[in-house]
Chains A and B, each alone.
Chain A
Amino acid sequence: MIDFSHQRSVWESLQEYGRGIAGGLMFSVPLLFTMEVWWAGFLIHPWRMLLYVLVTYGLLLLYNRFAGLRRDASWWEVAIDSVEEIGIGLVLSALILWLTGRISGESQWLENLGKIVMEGMTIAIGVSVGTAHLGGSEGEDSGKSEAPESGSKYLAQVAVAFCGAVLFAATMAPTEEVVMLAIEIPPLRLLTIALMTLLLVWLILHFSDFRGAKKHVDAESLALRTRGIVTTYAVALFASAGSLWFFGQFDGETMGVCLSSVVILGFPAALGASAGRLLLQVS
């Protein structure tokens, strides 16, 4: 028997699903109108799409458990909520793609499914974030605020940073512009981009006194600050590489172009990772 952390009326549930739908569409609407993501639906091998679904589910588990609305929930409850978010993402994706004529009965079923999956996973992440952050009165749905152990707190921050990085990186990873920049930008300028990205992370996490910085960012010593900056950028680079690989942007490219793409996409991904740590956590 599963112990649930909360109980809501049907009306409250409807409102929460409404927030999730709004959040899902807000975060994914750029992708829903991006050609390269539609093309990814038939260009990407089904095994890779399957991995994309499984990784997204894992991401949702981490986010819901460590940063979302259900930090006091059991893993079973988090797993159930994550399945709901995936399902809502897929259904919303199918609806929007059908409305815009991107899928139809005339197309092959795998082509239609591919488009739905490639769009639906970002919507699912947006549903989770929207559910957690677009709430009105907190009431009894605010979850516990027990301070976790430092080890699990660090992992929780890594998980949130990864979610934020993926949200930002996934909107740009499928586009041709990233690879085009990777081919054209000389190495010295690429290095400058990397250094500026690190500076931006420091600016957001430690300098600008963003709301939530004092609570979620360890800044007691230079070593902790350095760890935070390096970890956040590393997470962003990992999210950047993963997003580019999922959307097939590494296929057929040289190692140099791939690395350059990761650094270039790492800039917006780091923005998402650092800002995400402050903005994507329910206080």
Chain B
Amino acid sequence: MNDPETNHKNPLEWCVFGVSLLVTIGTIGYLIVGALQRKSGPPVLEVNLGKATAADSWVRVPVSVKNSGHSVAAGVEVQVAAMDGSSHQSATLKLDFIPIDAERHGAVLFKAGIDPTTLKCEVIGYQNP
């Protein structure tokens, strides 16, 4: 069983090697493509609000932030404000990381009584990781 002249790999070993080779080459290829497509530049953050829904004495407003820039944004802070009669309420959402071309979702809560048509949102800050 241990003669180098007659030893050979069995079909299972060749299959595992074949799949591993494909996976490895594919991974290397995708990394090369990803590296060539990567450009330098700051994050570009776009925030959108979803439909406000009431729950008990709160109003929940979904928030999504997309990064269409060329760098990861860390510690992203989004401020959402709305009018509540003559006064206004504001809430802040913090997101740890938004990778390049990625979108992250969250929600802010307001006390019942806000006018959903007056909702406004903006990214007020982020960190370079």
Q: Are A17 and B16 in contact (CB under 8 A)?
A: yes
B2 to chain A: closest residue by CB: A140
Q: Which residues of A contact B8 (CB under 8 A)?
A: 4, 7
Picked from B1, B12, B28, B72, the residue with its CB within 8 Å of the CB of A43 is: B72
The answer to whether B23 and A90 touch across the interface, beta carbons within 8 angstroms, is: yes
Indicate whether A4 sits within 8 Å of B9 (C-beta atoms), given known contacts A83-B20, A90-B24. Answer: yes
**Cβ contacts under 8 Å, A116 to chain B:** 27
Assess whether A87 is in contact with B100, with CB atoms less than 8 Å apart.
no
Contacting pair B34 A7 (CB below 8 A): no
Instruction: Report yes or no: A107 in contact with B102, Cβ–Cβ below 8 A.
Output: yes
Give min CB distance, B95 to chain A, whole Å. Answer: 13
Q: Does A218 contact B (CB under 8 A)?
A: no
Least Cβ–Cβ distance between A259 and chain B, in angstroms: 22
Report the count of interface residues on A (CB-CB < 8 A): 39
Shortest Cβ gap from B19 to chain A (Å): 6
Contact assessment for B10 and A87 in the assembled complex, using a CB-CB cutoff below 8 Å: no
- Chain A 28-59 per-residue mask, 1 if CB under 8 angstroms from chain B, else 0: 00000000000100110111011001000000
Please name 5 further chain A to chain B contacts, defined as beta carbons within 8 Å, in addition to the given A42-B97, A43-B129, A113-B31, sorted by A numbering.
A5-B2, A5-B4, A87-B20, A90-B27, A110-B34
> A3 an interface residue at 8 Å Cβ cutoff?
yes
Q: Say which residue of B1, B7, B35, B100 sits within 8 Å of A50 (CB atoms).
A: B35
Stretch in contact with the other chain, from A8-16, A157-165, A166-174, A194-202: A8-16
| B20 contacts across to A, CB distance below 8 A | 83-88
Instruction: Say yes or no: A42 contacts B102, CB within 8 Å.
Output: yes
Compute how far the CA of A90 lies from the CA of B1 in the bound complex, rounded to whole angstroms.
32
In the complex, are the beta carbons of A42 and B10 less than 8 A apart?
Answer: no
Q: How far is the CB of A79 from chain B (nearest CB, A)?
A: 10
Beta-carbon contact of A49 and B102 below 8 Å: no
| B86 within 8 Å of A (CB atoms) | no
Q: Which residues of B contact A13 (CB under 8 A)?
A: 10, 12-13, 16
Most buried by B among A5, A14, A87: A87
Chain A: minimal CB distance from B1 (Å): 6
Chain B residues within an 8 Å CB radius of A45: 35, 38
CB-based contact A108/B28 at 8 Å: no
